[in-house]
Amino acid sequence: MDIQVSDGFNVISIGYNSLGSYYRLKRPVSLLWYDCAGSVGQYLSLVPSSSEEREVLQRRINANLFEDFTGREEELYEILRPLFRLFQNGPYTLTFNNGTVKRIAQVSSGTETRSYEMKWYVVYPEPVDLSKIDEIKEKYRQFRRNNGLEHYGDGLVGYSSTSVYDWDNSFYIATRPQSEIDPQRVAFFKEKIEQGERPFVIMMCAFYGPEYDYSGDFILDGHHKLEAYMKLNIDPPMATITRSFNSAEELEFNMESLGSLLYPWQIRHLLDNWDEKDEELPKLMEKNPQSRLRAFVRHGDHKEYHDNGKIKLKGSFNYDQPEGLIFEY
């Protein structure tokens, strides 16, 4: 079902560009980005958001979650209409799968094509706690001393983020910490499912076909239900809300906001792999002289140091772009 939101409050949206995607509830909550190392690896981080913000969703969803809305998307939309008022303006698609439609993938090898049913699971991003920057860095140094270089060769980014290397299956990205999952609530839904009930979950993603295809699949509502379905190895009924983008100009990826929510090394990783950086970063810096990103952007004569105090890198930069020779030690 196609839906046009024209009076949205812009509380909920999907940020999306060549780096990856994030789910935003007033501000970015769960971030998914590619490791940019030539593999299908992806990193995830869960940035802070209050329980009060997330409860906004529950107050808007007052439907009977045990209904099967197959072929009844218009009825489902009427139930979820208050939720759509929280979205940013634009086109959306609402679909419903009662769990019986399987995701089938095809893999070609030479002249043969193999089909298989994709599995699914929930990924809980590693929470970000900016008060523990020094503690995490010290734990990482100790880890490297004990384990050598074979683990986390991608440095602090890999150590402090959740890594996902899976192109063969589906994974649903949590938008709340795993520590908030209530075992009793999971048990409640597990019992309901065992009795034949099928509560549905609500997912959200974005789509821009010309360049990026689909974003990550973010859990809008249903963390406890998904945990129960996983325990029973049953595919969940799923309402999926897809935000469609018609042009690159419509896409949003708020690096400024992320600059105050992620660890410094995560921001550095994003800057190092931001395809649009050459064009977008100077405009962002000039537009906002007080930008939080300035602390991470290499500009002018610049030096970086190893933990032992010895120089690691020096050279001249213009908004993160090298000018002349850059010396690394």
Q: Report pLDDT for 317.
A: 93
Mean pLDDT of 14-42: 63
147 within some domain: no
Q: Report pLDDT for 35.
A: 46
Neighbours of 59 (CB within 10 A): 8
Q: In the predicted model, what is the mean pLDDT of the chain?
A: 82
Q: What is the pLDDT of residues 139-152, one digit of tens each?
A: 988 888 887 665 55
Mean pLDDT of 267-280: 86
156 within some domain: no
The region that residue 64 occupies, defined by phi over 0 for left and psi between -120 and 50 for alpha, beta otherwise, is beta
Q: In this structure, are residues 189 and 199 in contact, taking their beta carbons and an 8 Å threshold?
A: yes
Tokens at 26, concatenated:
């007033």
Q: What is the pLDDT of residues 202-225, one digit of tens each?
A: 999 988 876 667 788 999 888 999
Q: Does 266 share its domain with 242?
A: no
> Full-prediction pTM beyond 0.75?
yes
- Which of 204, 223, 250 delimits the end of a domain? 250
- 25-52: burial string, b at 16+ Cβ within 10 Å, e else: bbebbbbbbbbbeeeebbbbbbbebeee
Q: What is the pLDDT of residues 82-129, one digit of tens each?
A: 788 888 899 999 999 999 887 777 777 777 777 777 889 999 988 889
Q: Rounded to an integer, what distance in angstroms lies between the CA atom of residue 210 and that of residue 230?
A: 34
Residue 16 pLDDT greater than 70, yes or no: yes
Q: Does 176 share its domain with 65?
A: yes
SS3 state at 38: coil
Q: Does 177 share its domain with 217?
A: yes
Q: Does 195 share its domain with 64?
A: yes
What pLDDT band is residue 318 in, cutting at 50, 70 and 90? very high
Helices (H) and strands (E) in the chain, counts: 9, 19
121 within some domain: yes
Percent pLDDT > 90 in the chain is: 33
Mean pLDDT of 183-206: 94
Q: Does 84 share its domain with 229?
A: yes
Q: Rounded to an integer, what distance in angstroms lies between the CA atom of residue 243 and that of residue 205?
A: 6
Q: Does 100 share its domain with 217?
A: yes
119 within some domain: yes
Helix axes 73-84, 51-60, angle to 10 degrees: 140
Mean pLDDT of 279-302: 88
User: Which has the closest alpha carbon to 255: 87, 54, 24, 11?
Assistant: 24
Q: Which residue has the higher pLDDT, 328 or 257?
A: 328
Q: Rounded to an integer, what distance in angstroms lies between the CA atom of residue 168 and that of residue 324?
A: 43
- Which of 250, 276, 307 delimits the end of a domain? 250
Q: Does 99 share its domain with 176?
A: yes
Task: Tell the burial category of 134 from Cβ atoms under 10 Å away from its Cβ (0-12, 13-18, 19+).
Answer: exposed
Q: Does 271 share its domain with 244?
A: no
Count of structural domains within the chain: 2
Mean pLDDT of 183-189: 95
196 within some domain: yes
Q: Report pLDDT for 272.
A: 87
Q: Does 118 share its domain with 42?
A: yes
Ranking 157-161, 183-187, 221-225 by mean pLDDT, the lowest is 157-161
Task: Name every residue whose Cβ is closer than 8 Å to that of residue 186 and which is 6 or more positions away in sequence.
Answer: 224, 227, 228, 231
Mean pLDDT of 18-37: 65
Ranking 38-47, 171-180, 188-197, 228-237 by mean pLDDT, the lowest is 38-47
Here the CATH number for the domain that contains residue 101 is 3.90.1530.10
145 within some domain: no
Residue 289 pLDDT greater than 60, yes or no: yes
Q: Does 244 share its domain with 281?
A: no
Q: Rounded to an integer, what distance in angstroms lies between the CA atom of residue 154 and that of residue 65?
A: 42
Q: Does 201 share its domain with 315?
A: no
- Which of 250, 267, 291 delimits the end of a domain? 250
Q: What is the pLDDT of residues 44-61, one digit of tens each?
A: 555 555 566 456 555 656
Q: Rounded to an integer, what distance in angstroms lies between the CA atom of residue 238 and that of residue 95?
A: 8
187 within some domain: yes
Q: Report pLDDT for 197.
A: 94
Mean pLDDT of 303-326: 90
Q: Rounded to an integer, what distance in angstroms lies between the CA atom of residue 49 and that of residue 55?
A: 11
Q: Report pLDDT for 28.
A: 60
Q: Give the domain range for residue 292.
A: 257-328
Q: Does 97 share its domain with 243?
A: yes
Mean pLDDT of 69-74: 94
136 within some domain: no
